[in-house]
Amino acid sequence: MTQASLVRLCVAALVYALTLLDAAAAEHKRVMILHSFGREFRPWNEYARAIRGELDRQSPWVLDVQEHALMAARTPDSNPEPAFVEYLHALYAGKPPELIICIGAPAAIFIQRYRQKLFPSAPMLFTAVEQRRIQFANLTENDTVVAVRHDFRYLFESFLAIAPETRVIAMVNGNSPNELVWQDEMRRELQPLEQRVDVRWYDKRSFEDMLKEIAVLPPHSAIFWFQMIIDGAGVAHEGDRALTRLYAVANAPIFTTDQAFFGREIIGGPMHSPTEGGRRTAAVAMRILGGEKPADIKTPPSDFQPPKYDARELKRWNVSESRLPAGSEVDFREPSIWQTYRWQIALILAVLVAQALLITLLVHERGRRLIAEVQSRQRMSELAHVNRFTTANELTASIAHEINQPLGAIRTNAETMALMIKSSSPDMSEIREIVADIRRDEERASEVILRLRSLLKKTPFELREVDLNGVVGETLEFLAALTVGRQVSVDRALEPGSLIVKGDRIQLQQVILNLVVNAIDAMSGMAAANRRIAVRTDRNGNFAEVSIADSGSGIPQDKLSQVFQPFFTTKEHGMGMGLSIARTIVEAHAGQLLAENDAQGGARFRIRLPLA
Ligand code: ADP
The pLDDT score that the predictor gives to residue 76 is 57
Average pLDDT over residues 68-85: 72
* Alpha helix (H) residue ranges in 423-504: 428-456, 468-485
pLDDT in tens, 421-436: 888 888 889 899 999 9
Average pLDDT over residues 474-496: 90
The CATH number corresponding to 152-256 among 3.40.50, 1.10.287, 3.30.1150, 2.60.40 equals 3.40.50
Average pLDDT over residues 410-426: 88
CA–CA separation, 224 vs 239, rounded Å?
18
CA–CA separation, 423 vs 413, rounded Å?
16
Please give the DSSP secondary-structure letter assigned to residue 249. Answer: H
Q: What angle do CA 557, 558, 561 make, to 5 degrees?
A: 95
Q: Domain residue spans in the chain?
A: 23-149+264-303, 152-256, 395-457, 461-612
Task: Among 10-14, 395-399, 476-480, 603-607, name the one with the lowest average pLDDT.
Answer: 10-14
Q: What angle do CA 199, 200, 205 make, to 5 degrees?
A: 160
**Diameter over CA atoms, the chain:** 178
Q: Are 37 and 69 in contact (CB under 8 A)?
A: yes
Report CA(505)–ligand 1 centroid distance (Å): 23
| DSSP letters for 264-280 | SSB-EES-B-HHHHHHH
Closest ligand 1 atom to 575 CA: 3
The torsion region of residue 292 among left (phi > 0), alpha (psi -120 to 50) and beta comes to beta
Q: What angle do CA 302, 306, 312 make, to 5 degrees?
A: 130
The secondary structure of 484-529, three-state, reads HHCCCEEEEECCCCCCEEEECHHHHHHHHHHHHHHHHHHCCCCCHH
Closest ligand 1 atom to 574 CA: 3
Q: Identify which of 579, 597, 598, 600 to mutate to test ligand 1's pocket (most ligand atoms within 8 A of the CB).
A: 579
Q: Are 73 and 110 in contact (CB under 8 A)?
A: yes
Report CA(466)–ligand 1 centroid distance (Å): 27
| Residue 289 reports pLDDT greater than 90 | yes
pLDDT in tens, 202-223: 989 999 999 999 999 999 999 9
Q: Are 332 and 312 in contact (CB under 8 A)?
A: yes
Report CA(520)–ligand 1 centroid distance (Å): 10
CA–CA separation, 337 vs 588, rounded Å?
53
The pLDDT score that the predictor gives to residue 18 is 46
Beta bridge mates, 144: 125
| Residue 358 reports pLDDT greater than 70 | yes
The pLDDT score that the predictor gives to residue 13 is 52
Query: Which residues contact ligand 1 via a Cβ below 6 A?
Result: 514, 518-519, 522, 550, 552, 554-555, 563, 568-571, 574-580, 603
Average pLDDT over residues 235-249: 88
Domain pair 23-149+264-303 / 152-256, same fold: yes
Strand order in the sheet with 168-173: 198-201, 168-173, 221-227, 254-256
Q: Are 294 and 125 in contact (CB under 8 A)?
A: yes
Instruction: Give the fold, CATH level 3, of 23-149+264-303.
Output: Rossmann fold (3.40.50)
Give the pTM. Answer: 0.54
- Residue identifier of the C-alpha nearest atom 11 of ligand 1: 569
Please give the DSSP secondary-structure letter assigned to residue 302. Answer: B
pLDDT over 90, % of the chain: 59
User: Is 3.30.565.10 the CATH number for 461-612?
Assistant: yes
pLDDT band at 11 (very low <50, low <70, confident <90, very high): low
What's the Cα-to-Cα distance from 473 to each of 157, 170, 245, 498, 589, rounded to whole Å?
Answer: 104, 104, 98, 12, 20
CA–CA separation, 314 vs 514, rounded Å?
87
Average pLDDT over residues 62-75: 80
pLDDT in tens, 521-556: 999 999 999 999 999 999 999 999 999 999 999 999
The pLDDT score that the predictor gives to residue 21 is 46
- Residue identifier of the C-alpha nearest atom 19 of ligand 1: 518
